[in-house]
Structures are given as C-alpha cells and as structure tokens.
Homo-oligomer: A and B are copies of this chain.
Amino acid sequence: MNTRIYNARLLTMDGNTDVIENGEVLIKGNTILYAGTAEGAVEYLRTVTEPVVWNRDIDANGNLVMPGFKNAHTHSGMTFLRSAADDMKLDAWLTQQIFPREALLTPDDIYIASKLAVLEYLTSGVTAVCEMYLAPDRIADAMEDSGMRCVQCGGMNNFSQSIELQREWFDKLNKKDSLNSYRLGIHAEYTTSKELLEETAALAKELKAPVYLHNSETEKEVQECKERYNGLTPTEALDEMGMFEYGGTFFHGVHVTDHDMEIMKKHNIAVVTNPASNLKLASGIAPIEKYMQNGITLGIGTDGPASNNCLDMFREMFLVTGLGKVRENDASAIDAAEVLKMAAVGGAHAIGLTDCDALAAGKKADIIMLDMHAPNMQPINNIVKNVVYSGSKSNVLLTMIDGKILYEKGEFNIGEDPEKIYHDVQAIIDRMR
C-alpha cells in the first residue's frame, strides 16, 4: 500500500512546528519517503529510479497533516469499567469497584476491551500507546490484529506478574511484530516490596533497560514512602536501589521535589503527565513548567478509561497548558507549541520510540489529518494554537498507522465490526453485575 497525500497544510514536527502550505507526503509501505513542499516532492520523485505506484492519492483539501499523537500512558483494557464507578473517593473506588471486577477478567476480555480502546484512540488521532495492564500477550494480539502501535510495560507488584514473566515478555514481545514492543516496569513503589524492587533494579542492569512506573501520583503515596524508607521520596528510594541506571519513565509525576527533579535529570528519566485523570481522582496538578525548565522529556497520556473516562488527546493537551497556567499563575506559561510537541514527539521519546515521532524520510508512516474546514478551526490565525486550544476529536479525518489507514471520515478499518466490539465489551460488565 503506497499513499500520496497532497494539497495539505503540513506540520512535519521534524525539529520545529512551522506549517508548510501546499505540502505533500509520500508513503511507501509503512515508511515515509518524503514529507515537505509540493515542489520538493516533484524534485524527490525525479531522483527515484524505480517509479512508485500510488494505491491511494489523497487530496487533503488544505487540511492539516501531521504526526499522530502518542498516548503515552493508558490501561486500555479498562474500557469495560467506563462510567461504572465515578465520583467516589480514591480508596473506595479502587477497593470496592475496580479491583473486585478486574479479578473476574479473562485474557479474552482484555483482548476485546483493548480493541474498544483502539477504536477510540483512532478517533482521537492516536497512533501509538504505552500500555500497562493485565495479560500482555493478549494485549499484544489485540494491538497487532487491529493495527495499533503499542509499547507495553510491566505492571509488576506484590499481587501480580513477576520477574520471570517480565523477562519472558521482554524477550517475546520485543520480537513479536513491527507494532508491539515491551519495557520493564513495576506498578509503583507503594504496591511493590523492597525485595521485588531490588530484583527489578538488578534485571534493569542486566538487560540495560529503563524502568517504567507510576510515580508520585498522590501526596499520600509520597508520604507513605517516606515513612517506609527513612524520609526518602519514591524517586529517591528507587534511585538508591540503582533502579535508573539505564533511565526510566514516570507516569503522573505530580508531587515531586527539587531533589527528585535532579535525579530525573541525572538519569534522563522522562515524565508522562495525565492531567484529566489527576483532576478526576483529585490527585493534583503536575509541575509541567518546572519539568520544562529542567529539560525533562515530557509526554502526555490519558490514563485508563475508568479514571478519565475518555481517551481524548485533545482534552489532555488543553489541560496540560491550562492547568500549567493556573498552577503558575501565569497566562504565558507552557506555550501551545510545546504541548503539541509533547503530544506528538515527546510522548514517542518518553516511551522509547524514535522512528515515528515526526514526518520525515525513513520514519514510520504514523500520520493524522485534521479538518480545517470546521468552525472550531476557523479563522486560520495560528494552526498550532488552533489544534491545542480548539481542536477536537470531531476534527480527526484520518488516522494512519504503519502506513495503513485505520480510520477515515468516521469509518474504522481494524478488521472487526465496531458494533460487535461494543456488544462484547458490554457483555463483560453485564456479566459482573
């Protein structure tokens, strides 16, 4: 499948956020051959010895073509719990509503619930996710079968998964197919014994791998860690164990100290912020401006659909800047262009992907097209700010992953009927009532 997209407003995000008018993208199989001006495309094609046949020749009609968003922290399989339990205190929510139902899930439930999430990602222009949930094998199947790019990370803790399983998944899922990959990970410091944490640090050193985890999401979690570890924050305690010799990625990172930030800089640790979830669970507002000042790599995630409840990168982008502004008491904090970079580029880097972060020759064709002929995108004063401040799922015209168009003008192409997926996910939660 080779695709040419022409007559586009083009945001390559290859080092900048400048918009190219009358841009063009040439895609061969799953790889971008060329992204730039229309004139440059003509030049490029002159240099090609073997002519490319375009299976699709798409007139973008002046719409915006850009790299897809990376949902850099989610628990896709939790779709079955969407709106099943809201407006509750965190503890009661987890212990009375979430855990008892998750205990009843089968791997096949997780397979289909993950596919429901994929449908939603596609409507929101998401072309890669970083996933932490139960049954990694079946999640990888769901992602491969539906065509979603997926980085999974371990969610090991005292009750689930193990060092052995992580080693197994690390080997297997990193070789499975071109869409799936796997990272070492623990659920969080507060759910994992010191012994398991130390074993994880040893495994990270052995595999020369970064470690992914929920970290410093709530104040309570930080406080309780200090009680367990002689006044050390989670970041300090794990650093002392040698956990981050090959880096890592923190999900949430809401409550961090200056010293935590030093450790993160030293070990090149990335942060994935989840602002909607942090509001809905009353966890707080992350210090994004400060992370930026410290040069920390930043990505954006929706968290799972039970704690958000939607998987909408537009909402998250607005929140990153809006919450940052009110936190800093400064309307000029966190420019929209920086937020767009987090959503498309930083998120990729935070989850260890470097070949789908921008539109450039040799990169994977993970591409979205956003409708500019829509009232919320008019007039066109500044396209980047339109996308971040005014953009919506309703603007997503096309989502392409690995060169395949999986969503176009409201129609899905993931090899399964959406209505069947809705039906099957409904059956999971109905069974548990």
Give residues in A with beta carbon < 8 Å to B.
Answer: 79-84, 86-90, 93, 116-117, 119-120, 123, 276, 278-285, 305, 308-312, 315, 318-319, 321-323, 325-326, 328-336, 373-376, 378-383, 385-386, 389-394, 396, 418-419, 421-422, 425-426, 428-429
Residue of B82, B279, B312, B373 near A322 (CB, 8 A) is B279
Cross-chain contact of A276 among B280, B322, B328, B378 (Cβ < 8 A): B322
A219 nearest in chain B by CB position: B329
Known: A381-B82, A392-B310. A119 touches B375 (CB 8 A): yes
A285 x B84 contact (CB < 8 A) = no
Complex contacts, A325 vs chain B, CB 8 Å: 279-282
Q: Which of B83, B90, B418, B429 contacts A385 (CB 8 A)?
A: B83
Q: A375-B120, A418-B375 are in contact. Are A332 and B89 (CB under 8 A)?
A: yes
Distance of A329 Cα from B279 Cα, bound (Å): 9
In the complex, the 8 A-B pairs of residues with the closest C-beta atoms, listed nearest first: A279-B322, A119-B375, A310-B390, A120-B375, A83-B385, A309-B389, A394-B394, A379-B426
A278 partner residues in chain B, CB cutoff 8 A? 326
Provide the residues of chain B in CB contact with A383, threshold 8 Å: 83
* Complex alpha-carbon distance, A373 and B410, angstroms: 11
Whether A378 lies near B282 (C-beta < 8 A) is no
- Residue in B80, B89, B428 whose beta carbon sits within 8 Å of that of A330 in the complex: B89
| Cβ-defined contact, B309 with A116, below 8 A | no
Q: Which residues of B contact A380 (CB under 8 A)?
A: 426
Residues of B within 8 A of A390 (CB): 82-83, 305, 308-310, 312
Given contacts A312-B390, A378-B425, A379-B428, 16 further A-B contacts (CB under 8 A): A83-B381, A83-B390, A87-B334, A89-B330, A116-B379, A123-B374, A280-B322, A281-B325, A282-B329, A284-B326, A309-B385, A310-B389, A312-B392, A315-B315, A378-B422, A393-B394
- Asked if A336 and B86 make an inter-chain contact with CB atoms under 8 angstroms apart, the answer reads yes
**Contact A326–B279 (Cβ < 8 Å):** yes
Q: Is the CB of B322 within 8 A of A79?
A: no
Chain B nearest Cβ from A389, distance in angstroms: 4
Q: Cβ of A331: which chain B residues have Cβ within 8 Å of it?
A: 87-90, 93, 280-282
Contact status A276-B82, CB under 8 Å = no
With contact pairs A89-B331, A331-B90 given, residues A279 and B323 touching in the complex (Cβ less than 8 Å): yes
Taking the nearest CB of chain B, how far is it from the CB of A318, in angstroms?
7
Assembly CA distance A308 to B376 (angstroms): 11
A326:B123 contact, CB within 8 angstroms: no
A30 to B389, CA, bound (A): 35
Docked-complex contact B123 and A429, CB < 8 angstroms? no
B123/A375 in contact, CB under 8 A = yes
* Contact among B84, B89, B373 with A381 in the assembled complex (CB-CB below 8 Å): B84
Chain B residues closer than 8 Å to A382, beta-carbon distance: 83-84, 86
Q: Which residues of B contact A283 (CB under 8 A)?
A: 326
* Structural contact, A318 and B83, CB atoms closer than 8 A: no
5 contacts between A and B (CB under 8 A): A83-B385, A86-B385, A87-B321, A89-B330, A278-B326
